[in-house]
Structure 1
Amino acid sequence: MAHIVIAGFGSRGDLYPLTDFGCRLRESGHDVVMTVTPDLVDEITACGLETRPIDFQLDHELDPDKPAKAAMELLLPKGMRQLGEKLLDALVDVPADVLLLSPFAELAGHPLAEARGIPSLGVRLQPISTTSAYPPSLLGAWSAGATINRTAGRCAVALVDRLYGKTIAGFRKRLGLPQVPQRSLRRERTIAEWPILHGFSPSVLPRPGDWRPGLAVTGYWWPRRPAGWKPPVELVSFLESGSAPVFVGLGSLMLSEQEAARVSEVVRQALTMVGVRGVVQAGGAGLDVRDDAVITVGTVPHDWLFGKTAAVVHSCGAGTMAAGLRAGLPAVAVPSPGGDQPFWARRLRELGVSSATLPRPKLTAERLARAIDSALSEPGHRTRAEELAARIAEEDGAAAVVAAVEQLIE
């Protein structure tokens, strides 16, 4: 038995997929501890994992009407320093033989693994390593050819090293490690072929041929359900009372109150225009659609819900997109600017699964209605989604993570 720590932080969509291999490692006889945000402690504990909360907050009040600004403040050196310190505090007394590092945990996690003299590996839901195939996914949906794509990747790496160099130096000082330039530390990891596992399907996005050794695409990691979970009675009643509805949700995306109200009304009007029923997930955006043919719900496992829907309208967060593909559903992509959502939206269109890409800031009821109608009425989208679902069903991403971890501890 090994003591394994999954150092995670982020939204529900960032954390819940990690429960798949976390539970699989525990079922294989290992002791597993996972760091999580305080709001998810009870749910992830109910999945069967021991948790440690990272009660991270910036040291000043944020404007709730400017969620994008709040997200950017987390990514500034000061925000990542505070997050890293909280992560180290949470793990100070936790035994570990291996560290699994999600992206937000890498800055503090690498020094922690070095200080303890234990191996680590990266676990990512998005491709951000340099390749000629596309720019890092967090830079958006564009692609400008092999040379520029690789240059963008290298520039992004250099920017991260410069931006967070002092932050990482602070973690190393706290842990009693010698000061080494961040660029040198990254070079050492590259030479050592530090393993990074990517939790998406190679059928959705193949592993680039020019990635260095050590970078692997495992297949999706599927969120575990909390023990004893039961669907809300009112949702079951709604689903049984008529035709399969269209799902609409923006995941953990935070919106201002004004924008949430606008999007909610756009969704209501679009569903009415098409004449279909809808299940709207409030999510981080706080969507609230009130209509006789629509029900607004809170947190519901997508693996349960999507099998009862006709199509999915979503923002292309990695987890929601994966669940829709797993269910073989046609999609409508409503990405927000920044992050990986435009990247995945483009990929859905390339795969022929999505009927349209409608950037959320410019979303209108008319455009959304046309896209939903197309997703439902044009059989090609569903056919391709079902073919992709069949290939995804043959993959076992969590098993690949277990194998990689057990190889490190042999």
Structure 2
Amino acid sequence: MNRLLLIALGTRGDVQPAIALGRGLRDAGFGVTVLAGDDFGDWITAHGLVFAPSGIDMQALMRSPDGIAWAHARSPSEEIRRMRALFRRFGPTSARAILGAAADADILVGAFTADATATAVAEKLGKPYFTTALQPLHPTRSGAATSQPVLAGRDSVLNRLAGRLAEWFLFGVFEETVHAWRRELGLPPWTRRAYYDRLHAVPTLCGFSAHAVPRPPDWPAHKAVTGYWFLDDDDGWEPPTDLVAFLAAGPPPVYVGFGSMSDPDGAATGDLILRALRRQGLRAVLAQGWAGLGMGAAPASPSAAAPRRVDRDDVYVLPAAPHTWLFPRMAGVVHHGGAGTTGAAFRAGVPQLVIPHFADQPFWGRRTHALGVGVRPIARRDLTEPALARGLAALVGSPELASRAATLGTAIRAEDGVRNAVATFQRWLAEPGVGRRSARPDAPPGNVRG
């Protein structure tokens, strides 16, 4: 039995699809260990997977002053600067955790958040390395699959150049830390070009749908778009009786929630949301999340507080609920634009309004709008009561928007992303040298069939 180390560094949106993929790989006969934030251990083991702690509490990180400053950066340059500081602080801890957990693994499966350090571990130990992506990362001419496209609505070499430029800046985030890590492992330092030539050669399972982001024709064959990796973990979950009563008491509400995003003043943000909802006369389910929206202060964990309502009959506040159960009952979904939440809303077939904070969230906000299933996104730094009220009105006021969202939902629900990913992974393993070739520092890109 091949033993896999599946690395899922990040917030809930990074860990949840990794658990879904891990379960699929386990059911296919692999031994699966998931390395993730220390606060996700119980959740991972509850799904029958082995847990390896990263040494980092992700919720505490995101609620720290540095985490809040990163999530609420006022410009791309500030976001990069804040990210670099966090990587310097936490990168060595997670790198050593990966090295320790990799000792018992036959194969390493990384992710965007861990590639820089995990590739060095694979190289040091001489073990095959594969990776995953929840958003399109490989440079391409496609504007639809470029995080910061020059020409979003068409194919252009300028979009590929924009993708290369994004890689250049990203390398600067982890360059210092990774050079130190490679020295510690007795490995030579990377140049930008050497690192990305090596990373581009790694077989990559992309956990999103081609219905949401069409696969670029200029991608190499070993970048496989499989469909979303949904974790249907609502078995045995019972909604609170007062939530059921609230949903039955009127027309479908809108959902508002920012998931794992922290907030310097969750109470004030919650009040802004409530005022915008009142302005449009909308009922809502307000998800507390890590920001503590609608509560004044967030609980110690997403499940620590019992569901509670603000002092309004038209708004219900709850700490968390499975998106698979909740979203199909909503008139629309207002969220932060995380890849997992966006995919869940696509699957539910409901219109979206994205309030992107940072990272890949602006990309997903643009995609929902470009697909005609979401209204124009509002950057978190531009969120005001009037702007949100206008967005809410557009969200619930267009039958065409709702119809397109429902059509996309039907297509997404017809896919089995986990099964596709497992089948692709098994096919790659059957090819001699795959993964092990890509772990070599001199491996050329495009050397794997898919």
Common fold: TM-score over 0.5? yes
1:147 Cα deviation after fit = 3.2
Q: Does 1:302 align with 2:323?
A: yes
Secondary structure of the structure 1 residue equivalent to 2:183: helix
2:383 & 2:199 partners in 1: Cα distance?
Answer: 43
| Identical columns (%) | 34
Is the Cα–Cα contact under 8 Å of residues 280 and 294 in structure 1 kept in the other structure? yes
Q: Does 1:358 align with 2:364?
A: no
1:124 & 1:91 partners in 2: Cα distance?
Answer: 21
Match of 1:332 in 2: 353
Match of 1:106 in 2: 115
Is the Cα–Cα contact under 8 Å of residues 38 and 55 in structure 2 kept in the other structure? yes
1:339 Cα deviation after fit = 1.8
Aligned AA (2:338)? G
Match of 1:393 in 2: 413
1:382 & 1:141 partners in 2: Cα distance?
Answer: 29
1:169 Cα deviation after fit = 3.2
1:230 Cα deviation after fit = 3.5
1:209 & 1:271 partners in 2: Cα distance?
Answer: 43
Match of 1:380 in 2: 400
Could you say what the CA RMSD is over the residues aligned between the two structures, in angstroms? Answer: 2.9
1:302 & 1:62 partners in 2: Cα distance?
Answer: 22
Gaps of 5+ in 2: 72-79, 295-309, 431-450
Aligned AA (1:52)? A
Change (3 A) 1:407 1:177: farther
Aligned AA (1:352)? G
Q: Does 1:369 align with 2:378?
A: no
Change (3 A) 1:174 1:226: farther
1:68 Cα deviation after fit = 4.6
Q: Does 1:200 align with 2:221?
A: no
Match of 2:105 in 1: 96
Encode CA deviations 1:105-142: one digit per residue, 9 max, x unaligned: 11111111122222221111111221122397554897
Aligned AA (1:273)? R
2:250 & 2:369 partners in 1: Cα distance?
Answer: 30
Correspondence for 2:220 among 189, 195, 212? 212
Is the Cα–Cα contact under 8 Å of residues 249 and 314 in structure 1 kept in the other structure? yes
Q: How does 1:33-72 map to 2 (within 5 A)?
A: 33-56=33-56, 64=64, 67-70=67-70
Change (3 A) 1:56 1:133: same
Match of 2:253 in 1: 245
1:392 Cα deviation after fit = 0.9
Correspondence for 1:277 among 261, 275, 283? 283
TM-score (norm 2): 0.81
TM-score (norm 1): 0.88
Secondary structure of the structure 2 residue equivalent to 1:52: strand
Change (3 A) 1:171 1:77: farther
1:101 & 1:173 partners in 2: Cα distance?
Answer: 21
Is the Cα–Cα contact under 8 Å of residues 328 and 387 in structure 1 kept in the other structure? yes
Encode CA deviations 1:194-240: one digit per residue, 9 max, x unaligned: 21121111011101122233212111111342764433444334333
Change (3 A) 1:363 1:156: closer
Match of 1:131 in 2: 140
Correspondence for 1:256 among 240, 256, 264? 264
Gaps of 5+ in 1: none
Correspondence for 2:177 among 167, 171, 174? 167
Match of 2:440 in 1: none
1:4 Cα deviation after fit = 0.9
Is the Cα–Cα contact under 8 Å of residues 36 and 54 in structure 1 kept in the other structure? yes
Change (3 A) 1:160 1:352: closer
1:91 Cα deviation after fit = 4.8
Match of 2:433 in 1: none
1:182 Cα deviation after fit = 5.2
Is the Cα–Cα contact under 8 Å of residues 290 and 296 in structure 1 kept in the other structure? no
1:170 Cα deviation after fit = 2.9
Match of 1:23 in 2: 23
Change (3 A) 1:82 1:63: closer
Which has the larger displacement, 217-226 or 199-208? Answer: 217-226
